[in-house]
Amino acid sequence: MKSKKIQGIIPPMVTPLENQDELDIEGLEKLIEHIINGGVHGLFVLGTTGEAQSLSYHLRYTLVDLAIKIVNGRIPVLAGVSDTSFVESLNFAKHAYHCGASAVVSTPPYYYTPNQKELINYFIAFADNSPLPLFLYNMPSHVKVNLDVETVVNLSMHENIIGLKDSSGNLLYFQEVVQALKKVEDFSILIGPEEMLMQSILTGGHGGVIGGANMFPKLYVEMYGASVNRDLDRMNILQEKILKICSNIYSIGNSGGGYLPGLKAALCHLGICKNVLALPYSAFGENEIREIQRKLDSMDLEEWI
């Protein structure tokens, strides 16, 4: 029997850093309190927004442990275990289990490119051995392979696979998955890009893994509620705010990391954590930071911080 469905707003937590191999522990505490105060339904540590792949294993093990202690049972914690190595990924899932995580989240391995049959074998072997239930994580831009709809349907039959986080940005795919899994109970389908949270809920999705909820958790929690209640007028007002965040904060600079340096600079400006990124990315310089500050201050978002 599958565990209780995980849905709603589950922020992919930014990882506060002191330097390349040390956590900003004060920042971590502040960030988790800030997110939980926003009313979110879960916390996802070590996802793409958490720069997981750029961190050492030592740091990743410590982070899961600490984050779960800080959360202290208030909301479920999901741990990202995506790796290129099956053995490392499974070992990390066992660690997360011992720390008290509620589930693990895994992309396909992302150096080699398995075909769909190999993906199915991989995730079934993983789910058979994992002490924690598994969320599939579709992220073709970073992973190179897509989890085909048939693959997701196949894997959804496994009792230890409980959901899909789809960050493809492809609503046609998302909708196909929702249709195909309509009759699978206790399977949760979450969207990645926050610009599509509203449309994904209307399409039948169950929530969102929303980077912006590190900054403005209340905004996305309210959007989730408005979408579930089909309050189109409220949704349109909130969507306006969300799109402004995306166009103002995420599009600054020209890093290959896209929204990441902007997000971390904004959290720093909001007094939440340090502005340090793991290589291959770097913190913004003064000009970009000033631009972030100016835009944040002009967007009239205080009530959702």
Which stretches of the chain bind a copy of itself, using CB under 8 A? 20-21, 48, 51, 53-57, 59, 84-88, 91, 108-115, 118-119, 121-122, 125, 142-145, 169-172, 175-176, 179, 193, 195-196, 198-199, 202-203, 230, 232, 243, 247, 254-257, 278-282
- Which of 94, 111, 165, 182 is catalytic? The answer is 165
Q: Which is nearer to a copy of itself, 6 or 59 (CB)?
A: 59
**Annotation marks residue 4 as catalytic:** no
Q: Which is nearer to a copy of itself, 36 or 283 (CB)?
A: 283
User: Considering the complex, what minimum distance in angstroms separates the CB of residue 32 from a copy of itself?
Assistant: 23
- Which of 61, 111, 137, 295 is catalytic? The answer is 137
Q: How far, in whole angstroms, is CA 91 from its chain's centroid?
A: 21
Q: Which is nearer to a copy of itself, 75 or 238 (CB)?
A: 238
User: Considering the complex, what minimum distance in angstroms separates the CB of residue 80 from a copy of itself?
Assistant: 11
Query: E strands along the chain, which residues?
Result: 8-9, 17-19, 22-23, 43-45, 77-80, 103-106, 134-138, 161-166, 188-191, 207-208
User: Considering the complex, what minimum distance in angstroms separates the CB of residue 74 from a copy of itself?
Assistant: 30
Here the contacts of 24-32 (C-beta below 8 Å, separation 24 or greater) are: 24/273, 24/274, 24/276, 25/66, 26/273, 27/272, 27/273, 27/274, 28/63, 28/66, 28/67, 28/70, 28/273, 29/70, 30/271, 30/272, 30/273, 31/214, 31/267, 31/272, 31/273, 32/67, 32/70, 32/71
**Annotation marks residue 165 as catalytic:** yes
User: Considering the complex, what minimum distance in angstroms separates the CB of residue 231 from a copy of itself?
Assistant: 11
Cite the active site residues.
137, 165
